[in-house]
């Protein structure tokens, strides 16, 4: 890469294109001068003295760097004025050319530059002496002499500046030439001062040679002034560059362009060919090696210095310097020379007491310039600012990363997924859909409560790893929060999304082994696609959540969104306020469904069921308003309404010599309320109903959730004498053996098995097993969904004791229940000691 870039620039060897014409100009002008001058050579003793003065005056007081080249400010014009006045013309050319040669050799610059500088010195003085031959002869040191000497000196200066601008343009491009011309005013000002000083010296010498003594003191003072000006100029430029560097670094730290702003300005500040930033790999941040090179607008991923040099800085936490005038490390000097490095400075970047990387500059621009100890001090100050800026930049990056990623799984969070989804739906690709998959981990709450949150975190991390490993490379996998994970990508169709969701779910379902513990984890998956199910990210996220919620009703299923899910969800949302008002105004009604002994058909009790007739929507399904009550904090009020009505009717029946037990359904969340048993006891006392006449029914999923959380509440209720029943038994994953540790009295077989007994031998076998084992455990069995005589006979054959269903009666309001009761009860069966027996239902 370096070689390719060097081919784009002209080599310094090409300077002969300018050097050759300068040599020809020098030879031509010197030849003409020799032909027209009366005495072209002579006065060599004075020439030697002026040669020494020119060599001393050739020391640079101020060096301006233009890209890779330098332009030096010197005092050479002062002895040149004296030489042009006192010496023969070609002698002036010889000593001025020799002084230039000695100066260039002293700086150890390359041969093409030596010959260029010598040629421009010879060309300038040759043309200047030829001009003096064309001007009127000089007499004295009057104004005419001043004009002649100023014209001759100006020719030397103009030839020199023209040559320098030309060679910069040739080697570095027109921009370098333009930058050289920008430095001309400062150079002309210095040259004008030098010429004026030379004329003053000339006048004083002509008055008295003793004036050389104070002039020597004046020259020394002038040199000190120039040196002070040079130091002031450098300090001013350094402070200005440092200020600009600090501003640029502060501005770029927020937008991720810190390296560009830092390296370009460091390279310019240190006047180096290369500036390199190296940051070793740290955490999620990869290794960074970036280099800014003069004349290149971008950054390069390379460095001229070997890695061992940076490793040494990282190890010792001290700067490493190699170069002329520096305390060099000899172990690197040879290898750097082979790489074309004349000098380099590498300093550590410190964050507190830790070295986080290095900053280095290589090859001070201009062959005559090298890095000094003063440069190292400035560079270390720059490195301190850079280290703070880099740490701040990484902190901002870490905060930005944390804002869009989940801390536990390191996956993108909901905000990041939403942003990516918003960008995806903006691009409509024919024949493709943007699929959004939501994975809801089942049973995580039970893991947290049974094994602790650390185990739950391990489950989430493992699910994240499996999704990340199994999902296509084009997919974005994220954690939406809690136990939910999102996957979004482009696919051919909704069917492809369903197929992928099933595959990913299968990958998650594999056993998870944590130490000596093995867990089976399943997920419910919702799927929504753009544009079928939404045109924006918010809508898709809402609808995929509805699909995942629907999938939970069938454990482990994959559910594609459909409009019916949203209409039901919106309806439930609209019912929240109406339910609160209905509870306040006693608009809910309690229905009663009889529970009958199957052997002799005696009425033993009723199940209390809440019903809601909405003035606008009509009859609202119980599962809808119960779900609304759960999510809006009204579940306890709803439960109390049913309990009060049931206990009130039970008291009335007892007063009419028809004592019947009542059964009330409880939601699983009610068992987490530690005050609920006390409230039940208060209501029993208030209505004067014996506790054994109340049965509380809890679904299998609520009472057998894999934890011991409901057990304290159940035991307190049992201690009060309340009967407990497990509702919808058989629909979950529990077994009858789990019931042995629970204080329950009754099992209700789910209607799906009871209704299938007459046609499905499998359902008959399940009901038979439940009845048999329950009786062995001392539990009563209630069969739900008894709707035919055949089902009734089968239940009687297997020994089931109690049933309820449409064969006996649908759920009825209190008034209709009383009428039904009067019509169905056999009067002859009524006695003071037995429950009434129902007539045979045709």
Cα–Cα distance for residue pair 662/723, rounded to 1 Å: 10
> Up-side HSE of residue 686: CA atoms within 13 Å toward CB?
13
Q: Give the pair of three-digit tokens for residue 589.
A: 């009604």
User: What average pLDDT score do residues 248-258 get?
Assistant: 64
User: What average pLDDT score do residues 113-133 get?
Assistant: 82
Pairing outcome for strands 476-481 and 299-300: unpaired
Confidence at 434, pLDDT banded by 50, 70, 90: very high
Q: Give the pair of three-digit tokens for residue 687.
A: 């209505």
With beta carbons less than 8 A apart as the criterion, state whether 202 and 82 touch: yes
Residue 412 burial (CB count, 10 A): 22
Q: Give the pair of three-digit tokens for residue 259.
A: 């390296």
The H-assigned helical ranges of 471-562 are 494-509, 537-552
CA nearest neighbour of 113 among 18, 236, 212: 18
Q: Tell whether the model's pLDDT for residue 139 goes beyond 50.
A: yes
Give the model's pLDDT for residue 556.
60
Give the model's pLDDT for residue 647.
92
CA nearest neighbour of 752 among 731, 778, 780: 731
Instruction: Write the CA distances from 168 to 20, 138, 553, integer angstroms.
Output: 16, 37, 80
Using the structure block, give the residue that is written with the tokens 């920008």: 182
Cα–Cα distance for residue pair 537/534, rounded to 1 Å: 8
Question: What's this model's pTM, rounded to 2 decimal places?
Answer: 0.51
**CA torsion angle 643 646 651 657 (round to 10):** -150
Which is more confident, 832 or 31?
A: 31
Q: Which helix or strand (DSSP H or E) is residue 726 part of?
A: strand 723-729
Q: Which helix or strand (DSSP H or E) is residue 715 part of?
A: helix 711-719
With beta carbons less than 8 A apart as the criterion, state whether 87 and 95 touch: yes
Name the average pLDDT for the chain: 79
Q: Tell whether the model's pLDDT for residue 580 goes beyond 70.
A: yes
Confidence at 407, pLDDT banded by 50, 70, 90: confident
Confidence at 326, pLDDT banded by 50, 70, 90: low
Give the model's pLDDT for residue 286.
80
Cα–Cα distance for residue pair 347/382, rounded to 1 Å: 10
Tell me the backbone φ, ψ of residue 479, rounded to 5 degrees: -110, 120
Confidence at 177, pLDDT banded by 50, 70, 90: low
The H-assigned helical ranges of 553-611 are 563-584
Q: Give the pair of three-digit tokens for residue 379.
A: 């560079």
Q: Tell whether the model's pLDDT for residue 6 goes beyond 50.
A: no
| pLDDT-above-70 percentage for the chain | 82
Digit-coded pLDDT (tens) for 287-313 = 888 888 876 777 888 888 888 888 888
Chain centroid to Cα 831, Å, comes to: 80
Cα–Cα distance for residue pair 772/742, rounded to 1 Å: 18
Q: Give the pair of three-digit tokens for residue 449.
A: 């409560």
Which is more confident, 517 or 169?
A: 169
Residues 6+ apart with CB under 8 A from 831: none
How long, in residues, is the chain?
Answer: 842
| Of the ranges 10-19, 231-240, 775-784, the best mean pLDDT one | 775-784
Helix 373-403, helix 258-269: angle, nearest 10: 170
Pairing outcome for strands 69-73 and 344-351: unpaired
Lowest mean pLDDT among 15-24, 377-386, 416-425, 824-833: 824-833
Helix 258-269, helix 212-252: angle, nearest 10: 180
With beta carbons less than 8 A apart as the criterion, state whether 679 and 706 touch: no
Cα–Cα distance for residue pair 568/565, rounded to 1 Å: 5
Across the strands, what pairs with 275?
A: 292, 361
Using the structure block, give the residue that is written with the tokens 């409880």: 666
Chain centroid to Cα 208, Å, comes to: 81
With beta carbons less than 8 A apart as the criterion, state whether 361 and 274 touch: yes
Chain centroid to Cα 84, Å, comes to: 71
Give the model's pLDDT for residue 229.
67
CA nearest neighbour of 328 among 271, 388, 371: 371
Pairing outcome for strands 603-614 and 558-560: unpaired
Q: Tell whether the model's pLDDT for residue 429 goes beyond 70.
A: yes
User: What average pLDDT score do residues 624-644 get?
Assistant: 84
With beta carbons less than 8 A apart as the criterion, state whether 235 and 225 touch: no
Pairing outcome for strands 476-481 and 484-491: antiparallel
Q: Give the pair of three-digit tokens for residue 400.
A: 């930005």
Q: Give the pair of three-digit tokens for residue 393.
A: 């930049």
Q: Tell whether the model's pLDDT for residue 1 goes beyond 60.
A: no
Cα–Cα distance for residue pair 771/133, rounded to 1 Å: 135
Q: Give the pair of three-digit tokens for residue 97.
A: 């050319």
Give the model's pLDDT for residue 236.
65
User: What average pLDDT score do residues 555-573 get?
Assistant: 70
User: What average pLDDT score do residues 131-160 get?
Assistant: 79
With beta carbons less than 8 A apart as the criterion, state whether 468 and 477 touch: yes
With beta carbons less than 8 A apart as the criterion, state whether 73 and 186 touch: yes
Confidence at 803, pLDDT banded by 50, 70, 90: very high
Using the structure block, give the residue that is written with the tokens 């039940």: 680
Give the model's pLDDT for residue 179.
66
Q: Tell whether the model's pLDDT for residue 432 goes beyond 80.
A: yes
Digit-coded pLDDT (tens) for 474-508 = 899 999 888 899 999 999 999 999 999 999 998 88
Tell me the backbone φ, ψ of residue 408, rounded to 5 degrees: -80, -55
Pairing outcome for strands 288-293 and 320-322: unpaired
Q: Tell whether the model's pLDDT for residue 95 goes beyond 70.
A: yes
Digit-coded pLDDT (tens) for 66-94 = 444 444 557 777 788 778 777 888 888 88
Confidence at 527, pLDDT banded by 50, 70, 90: very high
Instruction: Write the CA distances from 674 to 302, 600, 678, 694, integer angstroms.
Output: 68, 40, 8, 19
Give the model's pLDDT for residue 500.
93
Digit-coded pLDDT (tens) for 602-619 = 888 999 999 988 887 788
CA nearest neighbour of 785 among 758, 755, 759, 765: 755
Lowest mean pLDDT among 421-425, 689-693, 772-776, 800-804: 772-776
Using the structure block, give the residue that is written with the tokens 């009057």: 142
Lowest mean pLDDT among 12-21, 249-258, 481-490, 639-648: 249-258
Q: What ranges make up the beta strands (E) of 468-600?
A: 476-481, 484-491, 512-514, 517-519, 523-530, 558-560, 589-597
Digit-coded pLDDT (tens) for 338-360 = 777 888 888 898 887 788 888 98
Confidence at 648, pLDDT banded by 50, 70, 90: very high
Instruction: Write the CA distances from 195 to 51, 78, 185, 744, integer angstroms.
Output: 17, 6, 15, 116
Across the strands, what pairs with 607?
A: 593, 663
Confidence at 592, pLDDT banded by 50, 70, 90: very high
Give the model's pLDDT for residue 682.
92
CA nearest neighbour of 604 among 444, 400, 802: 802
Tell me the backbone φ, ψ of residue 239, rounded to 5 degrees: -65, -40
With beta carbons less than 8 A apart as the criterion, state whether 123 and 163 touch: yes
User: What average pLDDT score do residues 152-178 get?
Assistant: 76
């Amino acid at each position: 890469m370096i070689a390719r870039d060097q081919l784009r620039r002209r080599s310094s060897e090409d300077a002969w294109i300018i050097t050759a014409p300068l040599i020809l100009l020098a030879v031509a002008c010197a030849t003409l001068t020799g032909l027209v001058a009366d005495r072209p050579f002579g006065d060599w003793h004075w020439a030697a003295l002026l040669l020494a003065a020119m060599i001393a005056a050739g020391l640079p007081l101020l060096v301006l760097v233009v890209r890779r080249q330098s332009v030096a400010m010197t005092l050479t014009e002062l002895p040149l004025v004296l030489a042009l006045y006192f010496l023969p013309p070609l002698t002036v050319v010889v000593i001025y050319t020799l002084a230039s040669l000695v100066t260039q050799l002293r700086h150890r610059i390359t041969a093409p530059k030596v010959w260029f500088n010598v040629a421009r010195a010879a060309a300038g003085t040759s043309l200047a002496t030829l001009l003096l031959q064309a001007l009127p002869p000089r007499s004295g040191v009057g104004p005419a002499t001043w004009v002649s000497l100023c014209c001759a000196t100006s020719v030397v200066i103009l030839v020199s500046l023209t040559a320098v601008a030309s060679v910069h343009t040739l080697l570095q491009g027109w921009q370098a030439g333009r930058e050289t011309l920008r430095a001309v005013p400062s150079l002309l000002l210095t040259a004008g001062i030098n010429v004026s000083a030379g004329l003053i010296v000339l006048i004083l010498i002509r008055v008295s040679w003793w004036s050389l003594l104070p002039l020597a003191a004046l020259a020394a003072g002038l040199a000190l002034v120039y040196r002070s000006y040079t130091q002031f100029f450098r300090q001013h430029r350094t402070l200005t560059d440092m200020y600009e560097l600090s501003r640029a670094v502060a501005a770029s730290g927020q937008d991720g362009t810190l390296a560009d702003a830092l390296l370009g300005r460091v390279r310019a500040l240190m006047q180096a060919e290369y500036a390199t930033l190296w940051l070793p790999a740290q955490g999620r941040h990869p290794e960074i090696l970036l280099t800014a090179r003069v004349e290149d607008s971008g950054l390069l991923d390379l460095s001229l210095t070997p890695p061992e040099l940076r490793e040494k800085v990282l190890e010792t936490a001290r700067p490493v310097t190699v170069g002329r005038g520096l305390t060099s490390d000899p172990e690197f000097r040879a290898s750097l020379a082979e790489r074309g490095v004349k000098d380099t400075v590498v300093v550590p970047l410190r964050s507190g007491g830790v070295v986080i990387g290095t900053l280095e500059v290589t090859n001070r621009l201009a062959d005559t310039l090298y890095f000094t100890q003063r440069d190292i001090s400035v560079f270390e100050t720059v490195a301190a600012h850079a280290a703070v800026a880099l740490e701040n930049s990484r902190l901002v990056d870490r905060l930005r990363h944390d804002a869009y990623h989940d801390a536990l799984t390191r996956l993108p969070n909901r905000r990041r997924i939403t942003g990516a989804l918003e960008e995806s739906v903006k691009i409509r690709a024919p024949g493709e859909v943007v699929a959004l998959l939501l994975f809801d981990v089942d049973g995580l709450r039970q893991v947290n409560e049974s094994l602790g949150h650390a185990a739950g975190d391990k489950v989430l991390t493992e699910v994240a790893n499996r999704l990340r490993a199994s999902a296509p490379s084009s997919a974005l996998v994220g954690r939406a929060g809690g136990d939910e994970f999102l996957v979004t990508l482009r696919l051919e169709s909704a069917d492809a999304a369903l197929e992928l969701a099933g595959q990913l779910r299968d990958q998650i379902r594999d056993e998870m082994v944590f130490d000596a513990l093995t867990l089976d984890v399943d997920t419910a998956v919702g799927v929504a696609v753009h544009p079928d199910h939404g045109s924006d990210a918010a809508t898709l996220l809402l609808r995929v959540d509805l699909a995942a919620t629907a999938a939970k009703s069938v454990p482990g299923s994959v559910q594609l969104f459909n409009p019916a899910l949203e209409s039901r969800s919106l309806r439930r949302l609209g019912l929240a306020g109406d339910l609160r008002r209905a509870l306040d105004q006693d608009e809910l009604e309690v229905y009663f469904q009889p529970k009958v002994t199957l052997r002799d058909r005696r009425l033993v009790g009723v199940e209390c069921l809440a019903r809601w007739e909405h003035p606008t929507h009509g009859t609202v399904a119980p599962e809808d308003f119960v779900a609304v009550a759960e999510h809006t904090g009204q579940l306890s009020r709803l439960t109390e309404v049913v309990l009060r009505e049931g206990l009130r009717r039970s008291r009335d029946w007892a007063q009419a010599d028809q004592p019947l037990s009542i059964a009330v359904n409880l939601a699983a969340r009610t068992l987490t309320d530690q005050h609920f048993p006390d409230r039940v006891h208060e209501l029993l006392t208030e209505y004067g109903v014996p506790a054994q006449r109340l049965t509380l029914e809890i679904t299998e999923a609520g009472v057998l959730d894999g934890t011991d959380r409901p057990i304290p509440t159940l035991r307190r209720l049992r201690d009060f004498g309340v009967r407990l029943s497990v509702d919808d038994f058989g629909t979950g994953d529990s077994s009858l053996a789990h019931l042995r540790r629970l204080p329950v009295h009754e099992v209700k077989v789910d209607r799906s098995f009871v209704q299938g007994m007459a046609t499905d031998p499998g359902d008959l076998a399940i009901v038979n097993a439940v009845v048999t084992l329950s009786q062995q455990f001392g539990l009563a069995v209630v069969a739900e969904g008894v709707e035919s005589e055949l089902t009734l006979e089968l239940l009687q054959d297997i020994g089931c004791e109690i049933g309820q269903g449409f064969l006996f009666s649908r759920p009825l309001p209190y008034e209709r229940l009383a009428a039904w009761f009067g019509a169905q009860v056999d009067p002859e069966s009524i006695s003071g000691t037995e429950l009434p027996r129902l007539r045979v239902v045709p």
